[in-house]
Structure 1
Amino acid sequence: MEKVVASIMCGDPLYLAEELAALEAAGIDWLHCDVMDGVFVTNLAMGPYVLEPIIKTKGMTTDIHLACQNPESYIEMFAGLQPDYLTFHYEATDNITKLLGQIHSHGIKAGVAISPGTPVDVLYPYLENIELVLMMTVEPGFAGQLFNWTVLDKLKQLNQQLETVTKKPLIEVDGNINSETIKKISPLANLYVVGTSALFNDEEGSYYEKVRKVERSFVSKRR
C-alpha cells in the first residue's frame, strides 16, 4: 500500500476548511499534522486548538507528529483529541517503551520518528510495538529543505529488518517528497507526506492533478 499524505501545516491557515474540502475532493484521506515546540526544532506549529476541529471531523486519518522535547507532556496534551496516530521522536526521549505504552493507553496507534542522522537500527528493539515509523528525509523544523539521499539506505535496511518481525509498522517518509524523490523511494515506504514541494505550492493545477502526478511515481503505478 502506497498513499499520498497531506502535510496540513503547509496549507493556508486562513482557509483550512476550504483546504480540507479540496484535499478530500483530490482523494486525500490521510493528514500529517506537525506539532513543533520551538525547542526540539526552531519553529512553532499547530497547537491543539488548531488541530481539534480538523480531527473531530473524522473525515481523514490523522497522524500527529510531535517534533517536541518532553514528548510525554505533549502526548497527554494531544491524546484527548483522539488522533489515529501519535508520533514522537526517538531523539527526544530516553524511554521509548514508556512513551509507547502511554500512547497505547489512550487507544491511539504509536509512531516513532527518526531524523536523518539517526541510525535506523535504534528502532529494531521496538518494531513489534510500533504501528508507524516516520523516516525524516530532511531535518525536522522547516519545509523546503533539500532531500537527504542517505535516508534511502536506511529505508532499505528497515525493510530488510521488517522481514524478521511478525507485526510490521507502516513506513512514512517526510521531507521534500515529490514525484522525483518518490521515484527513488518507492516501494520502500507506505506513506508519502507531501507539502510545499508537491502540493501546497504555486504551480498550476488543482490538488487533484497534483496528487495524481505524485501517485504516478509509485512503483505500482509505473508497472
Structure 2
Amino acid sequence: MINIRDFKSIADECMKDIKVSEELKDKTLMCCQKKRNINLNIRVNRLLVPAASFVLILATVGILNLLPPKTGTGEDNAAQPNIMAATDNAMEVAPGQTTVDILSGSDSEAIESWSVTNPDEARKIFGDAFIMPGYIPEGFKLEEILASGYKGEMADKIILNYVKEELSFSITEETKALEDEFSGYKKIDINGVSGYLKEDGTEVHWFLDGVHYSVAGHISSDEALRVAASMKR
C-alpha cells in the first residue's frame, strides 16, 4: 500500500504544473471553513443533548424531594374516627332482636299486626271496650279479624272485615280520640253519643270512653248508621 508520504509526493508532482487563481483559492478556503463550522455545530449539538437531559433529570429529582412524604396505606384512615365501627359496637343485635327494635328503644315499642280467630279472642286482647254489631246488611259475612299493637302489650286496634261477593265494609275499633279531624263531616247522634257522617264514600265515626269506632265501605249511609247503632258489648 502507498503510505501518506508517498501519496503527498505523488500529489505534489501532479499538481506542480497546475496554476490556481486567487479567486479559486478564496472559494476553496470558504468551502473548507463552512464544512468545519458544520462539523463543529454537529459536535456541539451532540454534547448539548446529553447535557440537557442530565439537567432535566436533576430538576425532576429536586421537585420530588420538595413534595411531602406519602404516608403508608391505612395511616390516614386510622387518624379519623371509625363511625361505622362505633355504631356497630353500640348497636349489637341480640338473638331474636331486629334493628328496628333497637332504634325504637325496646322490644315492647315494636308495633305488630296479626290475625285473630274469633270475636272472643279479640275481646281478650282489646279489653271491655270491644263491641260487636247486632245488625249486618243482608249477604255480608265476617271474613277476618285483624289486630295490631305494641309487642307484648294489649292490642290498640281491631278491624272487623265483612265481605259480600265483591263488596266489603269494615268496622274499626281503636284507642284513639281525635274528634277535631272530622270538621268537614256531618255531625250526627248515635245512641246518645256524638258522631260524624261522611256521605260521599260512606263513613261513620263516633267516640266512646276514649275509643274511636268507625264503619266504612261499600254500603249505603243508612246501612252504616244502622250497623253503628247496633254496636254493643
- TM-score (normalised: structure 2): 0.21
**Which of the pair is proportionally richer in strand?**
2
Bigger Rg, which one: 2
Q: Which has the higher contact order (CA 8 A, sep 6+)?
A: 1
- TM-score (normalised: structure 1): 0.22
